[in-house]
Chains A and B, each alone.
Chain A
Amino acid sequence: MRMLINVAETVVPDALRGLAAAHPELTVDVANRVVVRRDAPVSGKVALVSGGGSGHEPLHSGFVGRGMLDAACPGEVFTSPVPDQMVRAAAAVDSGAGVLLVVKNYTGDVLNFDMAAELAEDEGIQIAKVLVDDDVAVTDSLYTAGRRGTGGTLFVEKLAGAAAEEGAPLERVEALARRVNESSRSFGVALSACSTPAKGGPTFELPPGELELGIGIHGEPGRERRAMMTSGEIADAAVHAVLDDLQPDSPVLLLVNGMGATPLLELYGFTAEVHRVLSERGVPAVRTLVGNYVTSLDMAGASVTVCRADEELLRLWDAPVNTPALRWGC
Chain B
Amino acid sequence: MTDSETAATGAYDTAFFLRWMALVATAVEREAGRLTELDAAIGDADHGSNLQRGFRAVTTALAEEAPKNPGQVLVLAGRTLISTVGGASGPLYGTLLRRTGKTLGEAEQVDAGQLRDGLRTGVEAVAKLGGSAVGDKTMLDALVPAVDALAESFGAASDAAEQGALATVPLQARKGRASYLGERSIGHQDPGATSSALLIAALAEAAA
Are A and B bound to each other? yes
- Please give the residue numbers on chain A whose beta carbons come within 8 Å of chain B beta carbons, in ascending order: 8, 53, 75-84, 106-108, 111-112, 115, 137-138, 140, 143-145, 148, 196, 198-199, 203-204, 216, 218-221, 223
Q: How far is the CB of B186 from chain A (nearest CB, A)?
A: 13
The binding surface of chain B is classed by DSSP as helix
Which residues in A have their C-beta under 8 angstroms from that of B83?
A: 82-84
- Please give the residue numbers on chain B whose beta carbons come within 8 Å of chain A beta carbons, in ascending order: 36, 40-46, 48-50, 53, 82-92, 129-130, 172, 174-177, 179-182, 184
Known contacts A220-B177, A223-B181, A76 near B88 by CB under 8 Å = no
Which residues in A have their C-beta under 8 angstroms from that of B176?
A: 107, 145
Q: In the complex, are the beta carbons of B179 and A218 less than 8 A apart?
A: no
Report which residue of B44, B49, B182 has the largest number of chain A beta carbons within 10 angstroms of its beta carbon.
Answer: B44
Q: In the complex, are the beta carbons of B88 and A82 less than 8 A apart?
A: no
Q: In the complex, are the beta carbons of B45 and A106 less than 8 A apart?
A: no
Which residues in B have their C-beta under 8 angstroms from that of A143?
A: 172, 174, 179
Q: What CA separation (Å) do A84 and B85 show in the bound complex?
A: 11
Q: In the complex, are the beta carbons of A148 and B129 less than 8 A apart?
A: no
Checking A75, A107, A223 against B182 with a beta-carbon cut-off of 8 angstroms, the contacting residue is A223
Q: In the complex, are the beta carbons of A82 and B45 less than 8 A apart?
A: no
Which residues in A have their C-beta under 8 angstroms from that of B181?
A: 220-221, 223
Known contacts A140-B182, A203-B44, A198 near B92 by CB under 8 Å = no
Q: How far is the CB of B84 from chain A (nearest CB, A)?
A: 7
Residue in chain A with minimal CB distance to B42? A220
Q: In the complex, are the beta carbons of B92 and A218 less than 8 A apart?
A: no
Which residues in A have their C-beta under 8 angstroms from that of B53?
A: 76
Given contacts A112-B90, A199-B45, 11 further A-B contacts (CB under 8 A): A76-B53, A79-B50, A82-B82, A144-B182, A145-B177, A145-B179, A196-B45, A198-B48, A220-B44, A220-B181, A223-B182
Q: In the complex, are the beta carbons of B88 and A220 less than 8 A apart?
A: no
Q: In the complex, are the beta carbons of A145 and B87 less than 8 A apart?
A: no
Report which residue of B84, B86, B90, B175 has the largest number of chain A beta carbons within 10 angstroms of its beta carbon.
Answer: B86
Q: In the complex, are the beta carbons of A78 and B44 less than 8 A apart?
A: yes
Checking A8, A112, A140, A219 against B44 with a beta-carbon cut-off of 8 angstroms, the contacting residue is A219
